[in-house]
Every structure is written in C-alpha cells, then in structure tokens.
Amino acid sequence: MWLFKKKGESGFSYSSTAEEVTIGIDGSGLIAIVTGASSGIGAETTRVLALRGVHVIMAVRNMTAGKDVKEAIVKEIPAAKVDVMELDLSSFDSVKKFAADFISSGHSLNILINNAGVMAIPFMLSKDNIELQFATNHLGHFLLTNLLLEKMKETACETKREGRIVNVASDAHYVTYPEGIRFDKINDQESYSKFSAYGQSKMANILSTYELAKRLKEDGVEITANSLNPGAISSNLFRHMTIINGLVSTIGKLLLKNVQQGASTTCYIALNPQVKGVSGEYFQDNNLATPSKKARDMDLAKKLWDFSMDLVK
C-alpha cells in the first residue's frame, strides 16, 4: 500500500527495513547489548547490528534459543561478533548478576537496547512479587539501565563516541489505566486488565526515557536516550492471546509489519547518524512521533522514576 511506503523527513518509512536504515554505516568498534535477542525483532536487531560490524551481547532468558540465533547469524555473517548472556528481566537478582558479569568482562558499552517484553499475560507476580508485565517490561530494564549507566558514561568519555540508549515501547501506551501509572495498585489483581497493564508498562518505558534523557543532559554526558513504537508486528508477543494469535498467523503477513520492518526503528535510533545528539524523543516508522499527552507528563515521569527506584532497591 502506498501509504506505508510514504517517506518521512528521515527519508525512511513504515515499510523500511532494518538493513535499509543502516546501509553504509560502519559500526566497527561499537559494543551493544540487546535484551530479548533470541526471537522476533530482538533477533533481527542483533543480526543487523552484527552485519554493520557491531559487537552484540545478546541478553536472553532462554540460552538455548539465544545460542541457536547466534549460530544462525554467524553462519550468515562469518565475521559477526556475537555473544550470549543469560538475563531474566523479571528477577532483580538476575539483572544484577548480568550487569555485574558484563562489567567484570571488561567490555565497554556504546549502545543499550531495551527490547525484551511480555504482552497481555494473565495476572502473575514476578520473583520479586511485582505484577509481571510492569516488572519485566519496565522495572527490569530500568534497573539494568541504571546498573550499566556508569559503564556507558566511561565508554563515551574514553572513546569520544556518543552512547545511545534505546527503549522499545509501543503505541499500546494509549490503552492504559485512566491514571496512567497505578502507583498504589500495581499488584491489584481484582482490577487487573492484561491489556491496560501492558499499556501501563509501555507508558512507563516512555516516561522513564524522558526522565533519563533529562538527567543525562543535566550530567553533560554524551549519551542519548530515546523510545520508540516498533509498530504492529507478526511475532510471538501474541502467544498469550489465542484468538489474536490465530489471526496474526493467518492474515498478519498482509496487515502487520514483518520483523525486518519491525526492527528498523530500533536500528535507526541505535546507529543512524541522523539521530546524533537527539535525545528524549519518541520515534515511529523511523521518524519522530508524538506519544500521548500523559506519556509526556514530566511530573508523572519524575514520580515514576522515584517510585521505580524505591522498588528496585
């Protein structure tokens, strides 16, 4: 459809693929962490970054699946630099262990892509007794980012190359609870809505990105933080919604993005020189976009930051 191919100011569109938005970019010498890299857009993000010369650390919950993806990438791209490390974002202990192991490895860190997530799952609590979607999609990434921030600052200072933090959010943030973030009802099972809870976690991704970008600017460090909506993609995120998953399997190829298109905005923000110096923004289809009014509420962003910090402590 012509509408999907209409290019924005960046020169890219809804239909652009991750390879297309990174053509000609040399990522040699850069090191990136990609969470949720064992499937879907996380795997494609890893493949394309590796194709451009980036050394990618795949942060995955399922090590077997992660190693299979690594093997496939290296088979396609013999020169690819890809490592696999275990990370369960629903567990603060796992996040802390991952960060400690990564730092002790001696690697620098240029790019952090917070991509992993669960979607519209039945009510469950994480290992730290927090509603699972909020814990996995937001808190796990929030803690990971804060634990790795000093390493990113060191890398940016030593290499004189801009660090980039990319948070994969969603337009599902429009479908959240009326108050946006239910600070006093995070674990309220009685009023739980799996779709609103997912939207809440995605709004948290956007809000925390704004607050992080503000703090990075105040610190005067050369690190940017941006969030994005990858678009509706035919992926295993729909696995907990039987009817929708069936529709995705049958008509998804016609109406939804494929993973090559779905990973494009992530790769665009992570590597494209057009985004240099751009921070605290929301992207969609490889172009700047505007999230909901509530997702741009800086007072709410600050409140969420403090709330999240208390929880991860």
User: Which residues have a Cβ under 8 Å from the Cβ of 221 and sit 6 or more positions away?
Assistant: 153, 156, 157, 163
Residue 268 designated active-site? no
Say which of 14, 174, 177, 192 is annotated catalytic: 192
List strands edge to edge, sheet with 282-284.
81-86, 55-60, 31-35, 111-114, 163-168, 223-229, 282-284, 287-289
The number of residues making up the chain comes to 313
Distance of CA 152 to the CA centre of its chain: 17
- The burial class, CB within 10 Å (0-12 / 13-18 / 19+), for 26 is exposed
Sign of the CA dihedral running 204, 206, 207, 212: positive
- The burial class, CB within 10 Å (0-12 / 13-18 / 19+), for 130 is buried
Other Cβ atoms within 10 Å of 194 Cβ, number:
15
Other Cβ atoms within 10 Å of 169 Cβ, number:
29
Residues classed as catalytic: 192
